[in-house]
Amino acid sequence: MGLFIVFEGVEGSGKSTQSRELYRRLQKAELEAVLIREPGGTPTAEYVRDWLIGGHDISPLTELLLFSATRASLVESVIRPALSKGEIVVCDRYIYSTLAYQGYGRGMDMGAIDNLNGIATGGLEPELVVLLDLPPDIGFQRKRGGDPNDRFEREDLAFHQRVHEGYNALAANDPKRWLVLDASLPMESLASAIWDRVLEIQAER
């Protein structure tokens, strides 16, 4: 069985940079690895992604179901097959984004989200969740105000603060699985801390 690693955090927290860096290190160490992002990673999910991020007239329920649908497609066609070949899967966002954004951010029912997450993934959870913790106002400054066509970046600061608090609550509930790092640290120290934890998990298996 492979190893499943997920990156989470608010906009501008550096998840994409750190997930790419981890993937680079895994390749350098000659470990078979796959790098994916949510929503996306399959042709269907990439198609829906554009609409989910930039579309109009999407209600919170439609949004929740679309994230679940793209996740189901990614788990079935990419994540499970890679894990069963013994590969390491690095995924930029996963079920915790739905709990943080649709649950804490939009205020949708957490129990319903938990159920949908379970259905979409067949209960597949990662061995490690790296949370790049950053106050959302700093994240926005990094993104220089954000993309006006991105439905999430257009949300107000209060929304992103709820998302941020949500992430911290999720991490506090499951401290063994979550590695919480201060995203304002230099890129290289973050990458080393993540790498050390991955090696530690590999050594324990």
Q: Give the containing element (helix H, strand E) for 35.
A: strand 33-37
CB of 127 to ligand TYD, least distance (A): 19
Judged by CB under 6 A, the stretch of 92-100, 119-127, 129-137, 172-180 that binds ligand TYD is 92-100
Interface with ligand TYD, residue 124, by CB under 6 A? no
Q: Given the complex with ligand TYD, which of 31 and 80 has the nearer CB atom? A: 80
Site for ligand TYD in 49-68 (CB under 6 A): 53, 67
Interface with ligand TYD, residue 97, by CB under 6 A? yes
Residue 37's SS3 state is strand
Q: Given the complex with ligand TYD, which of 67 and 140 has the nearer CB atom? A: 67
For residue 75, give the DSSP letter: I
Helix spans in 6-57 (H) = 15-28, 43-54
Q: Residue 36 CA to chain centroid, in angstroms?
A: 10
Q: Given the complex with ligand TYD, which of 31 and 53 has the nearer CB atom? A: 53
Judged by CB under 6 A, the stretch of 25-33, 98-106, 107-115, 196-204 that binds ligand TYD is 98-106
Interface with ligand TYD, residue 162, by CB under 6 A? no
User: Could you give the CA distance from residue 188 to residue 95 in angstroms, rounded to a whole number?
Assistant: 27
Interface with ligand TYD, residue 11, by CB under 6 A? yes
User: Could you give the CA distance from residue 157 to residue 180 in angstroms, rounded to a whole number?
Assistant: 22
Torsion over CA: 31, 73, 124, 133 (sign)? positive
Q: What is the CA radius of gyration of the chain?
A: 16
Q: Which residues bind ligand TYD (CB under 6 A)?
A: 11, 15-16, 37-39, 53, 67, 93, 97-98, 101-102, 152
